[in-house]
Amino acid sequence: MRNNRSIISGIDWWTIILFLAIALFGWLNIYGSSYSFDQTSIWDFSNRAGKQLVWLATAVGLGAIILMIEEKAYDVLGYIFYGAMLLLLIITPILARDIKGSLSWITIGPISLQPAEFAKCFTAIAVAKYMSRYGYKVRDLRDLIVPFLLIGVPMMIIMVAQKETGSALVFISFLLAFYRQGMSGYVLGWGVVSILLFILVIRFGEIALPIGLGSMGMLVSTLSIEAVVLGLLFVHEKDIRSLIIVGAGVAVCYGIGLLLNIWIPVNFNYIGIASLAYTAVCLLWQAIKNRKTSLAWIVGFVIISAVLCQGCDFAFHKILQPHQRIRIEVLLGMKDDPTGAGYNVNQSLIAIGSGQTIGKGFLQGTQTKLKFVPEQDTDFIFCTVGEEWGFVGSAGLLLLYLALILRIIHLAERQRDTFSMIYAYCVAGILLFHVTINIGMVLGLLPVIGIPLPFFSYGGSSLWGFTLLLAIMLRLDAARVYKMQG
């Protein structure tokens, strides 16, 4: 039986100090952005800042309780937690009231909770539990199926049933933990290529080709896939023979298309599909003949990328909500609309720009006071930081986040058991993803996707969710000390 003293001595106080620094700075900014003149006191619990203080106090309490719970609970009960969480996610849209097209809030008395904010934590536990079992090999394709399902199922529920695309995308961040465990770096590369393909298909999707039928987006993306294949053949496989066969075949496909186009209008979308099919068949044959699995991987890449390109167009027009579509179009420069969808970002850039080096000072920001930036105490709260605390404050906040994430990576690396290590990497990944997407959006570098800034944005669910995530990790880390001793 271990006593609590050894736990306290094992707690990583650096993480707690960083957590508190970010959360308190966040609270000051919530106060600043919801401040108005007739507000009587900073302690008024009916306003946003007052409410956030209550959330913060309860979150600290929640963290303290978690630190006292035996860490074995997560390993033993991991799947039960996960199952309960799935159930909650499924019933949420049934019980939820429609808030701006999203069905993700459960209201219990005076408080509203967003179960999706807690789903990340329990999914991380389940993934860590599965991947830490004996004999698990992340390099083995079959061993990836279950973890991908563990991640994919809650992701789909949140995206399709609850219509919260932002919260669903966060689950992608688990790939980082997979990568650390030895998953091929090509999978990460694959993810990046997928995103680029999506952008190409959408960006050039509505531009018609100068000759024949079909869209510029499809042509460009198909040729990009071919280019990646040829590049892989050259750099990775050093297989010049296949390279020539594939390259010549593709050239012949397009040549035939151009030739036919003289007499009848040719749809180059189909030519693209034909050339991809040729590439896949050709490489598959080589793979079987020479028994080279790495070629089979490239075939997989071709097929999935081709499906992705066709699917993107569909997803963009059929699955995304109109406002999300407009946001992406504005970001890609397809629509220039500073008064419409680009308005938020435009205003947020003005707010941040006006902060200059040291900012206008606490409560002195006019841009935010004038309520020109919507969601200024939730998703767009970084504006307030930029305006009132300037470059010093906002860069400082970014460095605080960087310090926290690096500290978590450090903690992850010093774990003695795989479960704790994977879990800690999941935490690092989730935080990195949130910070990247949220601040990238406010800085106009990424499309507007509504996810909160961890420990910083107004909202009890997200604060509790992140505290839970962090506290469990701290407990696992604290237990490491006496594991070493014992």
Q: Which residues bind another protein (CB under 8 A)?
A: 36-38, 98, 100-101, 176, 179-182, 185, 322-323, 338-339, 347, 349-357, 366-367, 369-372, 386, 390-391, 394-395, 398-399, 401-402, 405-406, 409, 412-413, 415-416, 421, 425, 428, 432, 435-436, 439-440, 443, 445
- Give me the least distance between CB of 440 and another protein, in Å please: 7
Q: 3-state DSSP call for residue 135?
A: coil
Do residues 63 and 473 lie in contact, with contact meaning Cβ atoms separated by under 8 Å? no
Strand partners, 113: 106
- Give me the least distance between CB of 273 and another protein, in Å please: 34
Token pair of 223, please?
A: 């040729």
Q: Considering the complex, state which of residue 175 and residue 229 has its C-beta at the smaller distance from another protein.
A: 175
Q: Which amino acid is at 367?
A: Q
- Give me the least distance between CB of 77 and another protein, in Å please: 25
Q: Give CA–CA dist 266/227, Å, rounded.
A: 23
- Give me the least distance between CB of 111 and another protein, in Å please: 18
- End-to-end CA separation in angstroms for the chain: 11
Site of tokens 């506290």: 471
- Give me the least distance between CB of 346 and another protein, in Å please: 9
Q: Considering the complex, state which of residue 241 and residue 414 has its C-beta at the smaller distance from another protein.
A: 414
Q: Give CA–CA dist 129/297, Å, rounded.
A: 28
Q: Considering the complex, state which of residue 70 and residue 413 has its C-beta at the smaller distance from another protein.
A: 413
Q: Considering the complex, state which of residue 6 and residue 356 has its C-beta at the smaller distance from another protein.
A: 356
Q: Considering the complex, state which of residue 106 and residue 432 has its C-beta at the smaller distance from another protein.
A: 432
Residue 113 DSSP code: E
Q: How many CA atoms lie within 13 A of 392 on its CB side?
A: 7
- Give me the least distance between CB of 2 and another protein, in Å please: 23
Strand partners, 111: 108
Do residues 327 and 447 lie in contact, with contact meaning Cβ atoms separated by under 8 Å? yes
Q: Give CA–CA dist 88/196, Å, rounded.
A: 34
Q: Considering the complex, state which of residue 235 and residue 336 has its C-beta at the smaller distance from another protein.
A: 336
